[in-house]
Chains A and B, each alone.
Chain A
Amino acid sequence: MAEDFGEGSTAGMDEYETLMATTDVELLKTALRNEKAAPEILQIQTQLVKRAREQIQLMEETVEEFEQSGMDPLTVSLYQMDLDRAQFLLRSYLRIRLQKLEKYMFYIWKDDSLRNRLSEPEIFFVKRCIDDMEKHLEETVLSKLPDNYQSAGRQSIISEEDDMVPEPQLDTFVACKSSNRFVSLRLVDRYKSSFFWHLLSLIFSFFQKQVCKFAFINLQWETFGDGAP
């Protein structure tokens, strides 16, 4: 995109190029991909989100400057497109996390390690979701049930633990790509699988990118420090 615009501050443009050359957009893309593919909620990338927002802000201001400096509108719209794409990535990243929170609110809330992966606004959000849902279930169903069966977490008072909490399927298959050429993964089926995924793995194994059990990959992330996929 190194074009000669004649008039117009080249300094502003260089700054812009520098902004665009940072790899944060790439990092954001990766964070989004990971979050989309993973059945459970991953660690919030607070710093990345913060930087992305700042950069988007900066880009917005820069684009506005360009518009007002009378730059050719086609070029301005190209920069705008870049901005829109970054904006989309950020929104999608936050959105997919919220949707996971909606789906697995009780499960995430109960598990400290998962709760620690959330940002503060997300924690507020989950708590509100839980309160709203519990009240709703109580009003429409639980209050109409006999005593001893009114809990939203336990089927009855004789349940030894919370047995009504929907969980993400951690042994679902995910497609992944390794970012480093590191040691070969032994894709031994250590985890019991449900019938269908077993068969589908036959089909997926013909494709280039490997499909493996999410839980297995999760384990590998922890053992391979910087070789994480």
Chain B
Amino acid sequence: MGAGFCFSKENMHGRLACRLVKEFNSGEKGQLNHFNEELLNEVAKECSENFLVLQSLIRKMQEEGLDFQTTRNADHYGALINHLSLIRNKRCLLAYVYNRAEMIQNLAWTVGLRLFELPEEIQEKLSHPEKEYFKKHSSALESYMSKVDLDLNVDMVPPKDPYIKVRVLDDVGEGIVVSDKAANFARHSMHFLKRTDAELYISRGLMEELTG
């Protein structure tokens, strides 16, 4: 619950939107929550209501022959407040989606460029448009990387040893290819892999680095 709020009326201007924004980072730090389609639609509905009220107040003033800009009466201020509420709600809605989109961009960098490379738990949290956005953004990244002929989503950590020791955490079997050897990557097996080959698998939690 928001500290400092003492109202319980949910239909106060902007309260729902605030809830949506708070929900963005309400889970564990740095992690995506399930896309709250329902709450988002409720806020969008509130925007429509704001707009209806706004329009009716302006119309009322026009019918009374008053100039909306200059006549500062109760209707004018009412319309103003509804307008301000609308843009506040808009800001909250967009911030929710935009910040999630930034996290999706981060997924492409750190976990993988293909949707199937994202773990199930993550995919579940994304809405359908978000999955599409992920695909498009990954494709934009791939397009750049092929233009400069360099993979940029590996080599994220300054190189120390060219080969690292890893242990396989999840069964990956023959599903993966490494540049200079063929091996069976069964669970708990240990291997010496090239840094850049192992990197993404470690990032996805499929392997872990061993030291010492």
Q: Which residues of A contact B (CB under 8 A)?
A: 53, 77, 80-81, 84-85, 87-88, 90-92, 94-95, 98-99, 102-103, 121-122, 124-125, 128-129, 132-133, 135-137, 139-142, 144-146, 149, 155-156, 164
Secondary structure type dominating chain A contacts: helix
Identify the closest chain B residue to A87 (Cβ).
B155
Asked whether B97 is an interface residue with its Cβ less than 8 Å from the other chain, the reply is yes
Asked whether B33 is an interface residue with its Cβ less than 8 Å from the other chain, the reply is no
Size range of the chain B interface in the assembly: 35 or more
List 24 A–B pairs whose Cβ atoms lie within 8 Å, in order of A's numbering: A85-B158, A85-B159, A87-B155, A87-B159, A88-B158, A91-B152, A94-B150, A95-B156, A98-B141, A128-B136, A128-B143, A129-B137, A136-B132, A137-B98, A139-B129, A140-B97, A141-B97, A144-B47, A145-B44, A145-B86, A146-B50, A149-B87, A156-B86, A164-B94
* Alpha-carbon distance between A88 and B154 when the two chains are bound, in angstroms: 9
**Which of B40, B51, B148, B155 is the one whose CB lies under 8 Å from A88?**
B155
Assuming A87-B155, A132-B133, A136-B97, is B44 touching A124 (CB within 8 A)? no
* Alpha-carbon distance between A141 and B42 when the two chains are bound, in angstroms: 12
Asked whether B48 is an interface residue with its Cβ less than 8 Å from the other chain, the reply is yes
Assuming A87-B155, A91-B155, is B101 touching A136 (CB within 8 A)? yes
CB distance from B33 to the nearest CB of A (A): 15
Assuming A91-B152, A91-B155, is B44 touching A144 (CB within 8 A)? yes
**Which of B98, B132, B140, B162 is the one whose CB lies under 8 Å from A81?**
B162
Residues 81-117 of chain B: 1 if any A CB is under 8 Å from the residue's CB, otherwise 0?
Answer: 0010011001101100110011001000100000000
Is the pair B41, A144 in contact by a Cβ cutoff of 8 Å?
yes
Is the pair A80, B162 in contact by a Cβ cutoff of 8 Å?
yes
* Alpha-carbon distance between A121 and B86 when the two chains are bound, in angstroms: 38
Chain A positions within 8 Å of B44 at CB level = 141, 144-145
Chain B positions within 8 Å of A146 at CB level = 47-48, 50-51, 86
Identify the closest chain B residue to A96 (Cβ).
B152
Identify the closest chain B residue to A95 (Cβ).
B152
